Amino acid sequence: MNNISVCSIVDLFGDKNKHAAEEAGICGVDVVTGEGSYSRSRAILFGKEKARFNLKQYDRAMKATTQHCRPVYRVSLRDAVITGQGTLITRNAKMVRESAQELLGPRRTLTGFDSADGACFSLKSLPTRHIDSPCLLVKRSWWRNYGHWLVDGAALLALASAVRMPSDWHIVIGAHESKSMRAVMLDTIKLIAPNIPVLEHRDDETWTFSQLNYITPVHVPLILFKSPEAMSSLRSLLLHQQLSKEGTRRLFVARKAGGKRDLRNQEDLIHECSRHGFEVIYPEHYSIYEQAKIFSSAEAIIGVKGAALTNIMFCARPTGIMVLSPADWPGGFFWDIAGQSQLHYLEVFGNLDSDKAPIGSNPFRIDMEDFRSALNLLIKLIDSSGKLRT
């Protein structure tokens, strides 16, 4: 397939676009969640003077406590094509922007395609498989990452299950090279949608479908949106009765030394935290269900900004969260998760030890004065919240 152009899925359906919908193979559209908004609790930042980014812009973004929610649609398509990281192409050669928007920016690689000018694309490979059964596309950009699997894939699947996903559907996910991450994905699906067959799609394959069901994103990083309904559905399906329990544990989410965003003085911070009743955990040692239970049992969580902290979505108000960040990596991803659940959110920036790695991957250390100030405030916030409950 050549001369593939990019188009928003919303432009392909509607009363005024019946001809466009027919050409694209669209045979059904449902509103899964309607338009709306949600509020976030405010973020408290420490070490801002160490920032290696536009601090005014970041400060402004982190004060946006009200977030608009776009509608989430389920679109059923005939003769659709997927390739790469879940990029969807209609039968009339329209690439659905929403399925690839994170990879369409400059200096990004759109897997599975050749492009002459950045506006018109062609498939790198001919179709390698055809699927006759009705399918739900769960594979999304950056799907290999644990955090993105939770907010993009698992949350979307939970939302679909909450609105009664038909039993004859198949679920399409990425074919993970990592045995442990593949197990996480399959375990999640068993908990959310038991007995639904799973198809694992490799990035270098091109598949065609007789009927493909596509749900528009429940997480849009560029506008800092995560569907509250999808997040709530995931919490409910994974945790059930644990949702009503208040947390009591204090957790320091540790990372193995030498990896990305290596926290060079992690042991010093752990020692300080131990004086206040914190225990050290390595989330990767646990199943997805165990991670959800552990994080839901916490009243305070501290850890380096990274995929494991996505588990804070399982925490309940008034848990306190402290995120430790290298000075070159701003971002409200975790604040959006914590904020919409009205959790206390603190972020502490630390100086880089070197800047030779890509942004967000450099080793760093947290200033102990900043850390103690943030820790004292975190404990004060959760203690005062506890008194309000009694």
* pLDDT tens column, 132-150: 999 999 999 999 999 999 9
Mean pLDDT of 205-225: 94
Residues, the chain: 390
- Per-residue model confidence (pLDDT) at position 388: 46
What's the rounded Cα separation, in Å, for the pair 18 and 151? 32
Work out the number of other CB atoms within 10 angstroms of the CB of residue 206.
21
What's the rounded Cα separation, in Å, for the pair 207 and 218? 23
User: pLDDT tens digits, residue range 49-93?
Assistant: 998 888 888 888 888 999 999 899 999 999 999 999 999 999 999
- Per-residue model confidence (pLDDT) at position 125: 86
Average pLDDT, the chain: 92
> 39-67+245-389: which CATH architecture?
3-Layer(aba) Sandwich (3.40)
Cβ contact 171:138 at 8 Å:
yes
Cis peptide before 318 (omega within 30 of 0): yes
Which tokens hold the place of 161?
């299950």
- Per-residue model confidence (pLDDT) at position 386: 62
Domain boundaries, the chain: 4-35+70-237, 39-67+245-389
Q: How confident is the model at residue 124 (pLDDT cuts 50, 70, 90)?
A: confident
Q: How confident is the model at residue 197 (pLDDT cuts 50, 70, 90)?
A: very high
Residue that wins the pLDDT comparison between 324 and 1: 324
User: pLDDT tens digits, residue range 285-320?
Assistant: 999 999 999 999 999 999 999 999 999 999 988 899
Residue that wins the pLDDT comparison between 384 and 200: 200
What's the rounded Cα separation, in Å, for the pair 134 and 131? 8
pLDDT higher than threshold 70 for residue 390:
no
Mean pLDDT of 120-126: 87
What's the rounded Cα separation, in Å, for the pair 208 and 135? 11
What's the rounded Cα separation, in Å, for the pair 92 and 11? 14
What's the rounded Cα separation, in Å, for the pair 86 and 96? 10
Q: What global pTM score does this model have?
A: 0.92
Cβ contact 348:374 at 8 Å:
yes
User: Could you tell me what percent of the chain has a pLDDT over 70?
Assistant: 95
**DSSP 3-state percent helix, strand, coil across the chain (nearest 5):** 35, 30, 35
User: pLDDT tens digits, residue range 10-28?
Assistant: 999 876 678 889 999 999 9
Q: How confident is the model at residue 111 (pLDDT cuts 50, 70, 90)?
A: confident
